[in-house]
A and B are shown apart, each in its own frame.
Chain A
Amino acid sequence: MAETPTLVLAGAEEAPLRSLAAYREAGGYLQLERARAMTPQAVTQELIDSNLRGRGGAFFPTGRKASFIPSPDKVARPIYVAVNADESEPGTFKDREIMLRVPHRLIEGCLIAAHAVQSKRVYIYIRGEYLAEYESVQAALDEAREAGILGDVEIVIHRGAGAYICGEETALLESLEGKRGQPRSKPPFPAISGVYSSPTLINNVETITTMPKVLELGGEEYAKLGAPPDSTGTRIFCLSGNVARPGAYELPHGVTVRHLIEEIGGGVPGGRTLKAVMMGGSSFPVMTPEDLDTPLDATSLGRKGYFIGSGVVTVIDDRACMVQFALRAGQFYMHESCGKCTPCRVGTRWLVQLLRAIERGEASERDLELVLDVCDRMIGKCLCVLGDSDAMIVASCVTKFRDEFRAHVEHGGCPFGHDSQLDGLYAPVDQHAHAPAAEAEALV
């Protein structure tokens, strides 16, 4: 396993691989040439054989998704490829690393994907806040176009304008169509009716950028890397929080959480101990220390009720008040709820109100049950997974750190006082005058 090479970030380990000349020297665009010499079906078959799965969080088999796209002779409408570069899951910064360090590999992946589904038009939807990343990809795209690499495929970069929900694939398509970014009800799925009611293949940046390497190795060889059969290949893990060496580390699936945090990340600094891990992103249950030896692959994590998500591993040390942590996570979902469906629009607010009351010591034991009850009424009942995400992380904090929550009730306030590193936390919902749930105090 130690021998697994860097794939997605290959050639950019030391310095970014930005120019076309440098990328070509590292073997860039050779796989596109090979792909174009193959039939679209053969390219899709390589993706199927590799068992590459979506790196955005849903882990859906990429090759199968591509195979759902009808062939052009069967549909009257054009076929589109949409690249999800709306990276906004708290703790995630891998797509940003890709766009800054190997932008041409992303472009090459786009063109390979376009060939696989016989599309002539690719949209890259980049989150609005990513300015340097947009400039990096735009520069690579201009260079590739100038060099005639695009052929008859057009790639358009579409910038978002600040909305986490647009990372949800159907909300992204709505936003791309010039609308408010509110998710659609599914089915139909994007493969049948995506952007402009046309068949659309939509993939995350890391997924797309892996495609040239799948072709280079061959699908079957790629499938041997990582933790087969389900979690093949590598993953750019996003290590952050209370850890000595945070960073984006591309590693094979299957290394343990402990290995990533302790060996690669240098462990928890300052002589503190680990209390919890935000595993996969803030949209999933938090991990407790007894599960640190779990391998980072979807199957092993799934067995213990965790998710690999977008590869997030955020370390929380023992100073943290987990009520504050749950509250801050909840405030994010309240801020980002699009308001289209009731369980999410209302539920995210209720959770913030309740968690704030618990943190202030103004809640009773019954309110802890009420939090779980609200979570229960959100999970599986929202239009998209945003509401479920909020409910999952909050419920996991209450369930796994029940004593801490209870201590707030008994104490009549936060037992951690100012010792928690999250003390005094502030959230964007606090600065909106129209957010009655916020009840924020002025900062000093």
Chain B
Amino acid sequence: MSAPDVRSLYDEIQAVRTRYPEGTRSAVLPALRLAQERYGWLSREAIEEVAEALELTPAYCYSVASFYDMFHLEPVGRHTIEVCTNVCCALVNAQAVLSAFVRELGIQPGETTPDGEVTLRAVECLGGCSTPTIVAVDHRYRQSVAPEDVPAIVEELRNG
């Protein structure tokens, strides 16, 4: 995504804090995001690091992290594939796209391949309803994905 930051997570979080009024907790979400981008997921240690940088308790930061769908409290793969399964995509057969990923990767939605490479997730509406099925590959939207496109996407990630 962005160029690798040579600063420590602590310094990055302090920079983010300046965007918000002093004495507020508004930096929690961006700080958790920074930690997740750095470590891939939010381990107990990562949450403790965020808490310390923000002068909050780990319990508070965990309670916030656990509310949001995009924060991973368990390890995930190096890549994520997220398939929209909400009604607009479902009406034009998102089920078949999701099933194609299940077959190609050999895992169920919510699981990670045994080599730790790819996590497959079914997600709610991604807001790309005019070009179904929407598949977010490492958070970049692929539009109008059909089941026959699936092997190439998986191949691309395995080689990438």
Cβ contacts B28-70/A at 8 Å (1 or 0 each):
1110110000000000000000000000000000011001111
Residues of B within 8 A of A401 (CB): none
Q: Does A92 contact B (CB under 8 A)?
A: yes
Q: Does B154 contact A (CB under 8 A)?
A: no
**B87's contact among A181, A325, A423, A431, by CB below 8 Å, is which?**
A325
Q: How far is the CA of A177 from the CA of B64 in the complex (A)?
A: 11
Cβ contacts A324-356/B at 8 Å (1 or 0 each):
010011001001101000000000000000000
Q: How far is the CA of A160 from the CA of B129 in the complex (A)?
A: 20
Query: How many whole Å from A154's CB to the nearest CB in chain B?
Result: 9
Q: Is the CB of A314 within 8 A of B88?
A: yes
Given known A-B contacts A131-B139, A240-B132, A423 and B127 have beta carbons under 8 A apart: no
Q: Is the CB of B99 within 8 A of A424?
A: yes
Q: Is the CB of B63 within 8 A of A91?
A: no
**B129's contact among A91, A182, A316, by CB below 8 Å, is which?**
A91
Residues of A within 8 A of B71 (CB): 161-162
Q: Is the CB of A159 within 8 A of B29?
A: yes
Q: Is the CB of B130 within 8 A of A239?
A: yes
Given known A-B contacts A132-B141, A178-B64, A426-B85, A431 and B121 have beta carbons under 8 A apart: yes
Q: Is the CB of A132 within 8 A of B86?
A: no
Residues of A within 8 A of B29 (CB): 158-161, 175, 178
Q: Is the CB of B21 within 8 A of A196?
A: yes
Which residue of chain B has the shortest Cβ distance to A198 in the bound complex?
B21
Q: Is the CB of A164 within 8 A of B129?
A: no
Residues of B within 8 A of A21 (CB): none
Q: How far is the CA of A249 from the CA of B136 in the complex (A)?
A: 24
Query: How many whole Å from A240's CB to the nearest CB in chain B?
Result: 4
Cβ contacts B66-90/A at 8 Å (1 or 0 each):
0111110000000000000111101
Q: Is the CB of B26 within 8 A of A161?
A: no
Residues of B within 8 A of A427 (CB): 85, 122, 124
**Looking at chain B's contact residues, is the secondary structure mostly helix, strand, loop, or mixed?**
loop
Within 8 A of B (CB), among A375-428: 421-428
**B95's contact among A89, A325, A424, by CB below 8 Å, is which?**
A424
Q: How far is the CA of A325 from the CA of B88 in the complex (A)?
A: 10
Given known A-B contacts A282-B87, A328-B87, A426-B109, A177 and B24 have beta carbons under 8 A apart: yes
**A241's contact among B69, B70, B92, B121, by CB below 8 Å, is which?**
B92
Q: Is the CB of A130 within 8 A of B25?
A: no
Q: Does A430 contact B (CB under 8 A)?
A: yes
Q: Does B125 contact A (CB under 8 A)?
A: yes
Q: How far is the CA of A29 from the CA of B131 in the complex (A)?
A: 32
Q: Is the CB of A431 within 8 A of B125?
A: no
Q: Does A8 contact B (CB under 8 A)?
A: no
Q: How far is the CA of A132 from the CA of B138 in the complex (A)?
A: 12
Q: Is the CB of A443 within 8 A of B124?
A: no
Q: How far is the CA of A113 from the CA of B86 in the complex (A)?
A: 34
Which residue of chain B has the shortest Cβ distance to A432 in the bound complex?
B110
Within 8 A of B (CB), among A152-192: 156, 158-164, 175-182
Q: Is the CB of A196 within 8 A of B24?
A: yes
Q: Does A444 contact B (CB under 8 A)?
A: yes
Residues of A within 8 A of B129 (CB): 90-93, 238, 240-241, 246, 314
Residues of B within 8 A of A181 (CB): 67-68
Q: Is the CB of A92 within 8 A of B87?
A: no
Q: How far is the CA of A430 from the CA of B110 in the complex (A)?
A: 9
Q: Which of B26, B32, B103 has the most CB of A within 10 A?
A: B26
Q: Is the CB of A92 within 8 A of B127?
A: yes
Q: How far is the CA of A196 from the CA of B22 in the complex (A)?
A: 11
Top 7 nearest A-B pairs (CB, nearest first) are A162-B69, A178-B25, A431-B110, A162-B70, A178-B28, A161-B68, A240-B129
Chain A interface (Cβ < 8 Å from any Cβ of B): 87-93, 95-96, 127-132, 156, 158-164, 175-182, 196, 238-242, 246-248, 278, 282, 314-317, 320, 325, 328-329, 332, 335-336, 338, 421-428, 430-432, 442-444
Besides the contacts A132-B141, A332-B86, what 13 more A-B pairs have beta carbons closer than 8 Å?
A89-B125, A92-B127, A240-B88, A240-B132, A328-B87, A335-B124, A421-B90, A421-B93, A422-B90, A428-B121, A430-B109, A432-B110, A442-B108
